[in-house]
Amino acid sequence: MFIIKHKKIFLAISAVLVLVSIILLSTLGLRLSIDFKGGALAEVSYPNGRPESAQISEALKLNNIGEVIVQVTGDKGYIIKTKDLTEAERIALFKALSLGGSYQVEEKSFNSIGPSIGTELRRKAIVSLSAVILAIILFIAYAFRKVSKPVSSWKYGIIAIVTLLHDVAIPIGLFTILSYYSHVEVDTLFVVAVLTILGLSVSDTIVVFDRVRENIKNRLSDDFKETVGRSLEQVYTRSINTSLTVILVLLSLFFFGPQSTKYFALMLSAGMFFGTYSSIFLASPLLVLVQEWQDRKSGKFIK
């Protein structure tokens, strides 16, 4: 009941977090990876010690491949980013990286993506994002079609969507900070992370709403506020425990897992955390708030 009683505080916390995330996103922006904008990325390692990055930049300038970014990776390696390269340019790039044969270079990975692939991926990302959101709205509308008193089913749906946006906005905000201070970029996996958060967050909210629905049916209490409060008490252990296990595996993926899925795991951990937080501290208080507004409009007395 504590949460319902102090609902305005929790709603305010969520509102501030979302607002900060939106401001961060719109001012700092996100770095797009070559998946979306096209370009090339080469990871090389110098097993016998690496040259200075300035030396590499200098050598690459002669190759006339436009702007080149050289980043340090690990103890012996560099990541080199350029525009998308043709096969001839790629061969020239790796030749230049050995600084005329004076350094031994190991080519760890190379990825060059033409602009048309980036365009296609952007389109696919937008289509799948819209499709997931639409499908989830339809699913919630269906799942709650029988609940109508005292809050009608479509309002559950809207609250679930608000919660959903909250759960996606905050991890994106965190990602923006990460992207600003390090070289983390928005790639295909970022989109997958956002979509997965959508799926997981709504499932958590649904479990809470499900319990409210069940308790309304069983006439646990005549007071809606109390019904929601007691439903929360019944389900919060489950919500926390479930996301705890998922966060446990995600953190192990972040700390011990492959480099390529590190930030994906971090993003999902944040999404999982706020997904659970919001189903307890945002969705349920909102439900009560909506009911109170309704009552106020119809002139009922509120305790």
Tell me which residues in 15-44 interact with other proteins (CB under 8 A).
43
Q: Contact letters (x/-) for other proteins, 87-116, by CB under 8 A?
A: x--xx--------------xxxxxxxxx-x
CB count in 10 Å sphere of residue 38: 18
DSSP state of 283: I
Q: Is the four-CA dihedral 104, 110, 115, 118 of positive or negative sign?
A: negative
Site for other proteins, residues 44 to 73, rule: CB under 8 A: none
162 touches other proteins (CB under 8 A): no
Q: Which is nearer to other proteins, 224 or 264 (CB)?
A: 264
132 touches other proteins (CB under 8 A): yes
145 touches other proteins (CB under 8 A): no
84 touches other proteins (CB under 8 A): yes
147 touches other proteins (CB under 8 A): no
DSSP code string of 200-230: HHHHHHHHHHHHHHHHHHTT--S-HHHHHHH
- Contact window for other proteins (CB under 8 A) among 97-105, 126-134, 224-232, 287-295: 126-134
Beta bridge partners of 69: 81
Nearest approach in angstroms of CB 103 to other proteins is 17
Return all residues near 50 (Cβ < 8 A) that are at least 6 apart. Answer: 76, 77, 78, 103
CB count in 10 Å sphere of residue 62: 9
- Contact window for other proteins (CB under 8 A) among 52-60, 97-105, 148-156, 253-261: 253-261
In 3D, which of 259, 296, 298, 255 has the Cα closest to residue 108?
A: 259
Site for other proteins, residues 175 to 194, rule: CB under 8 A: 188-189, 191-192
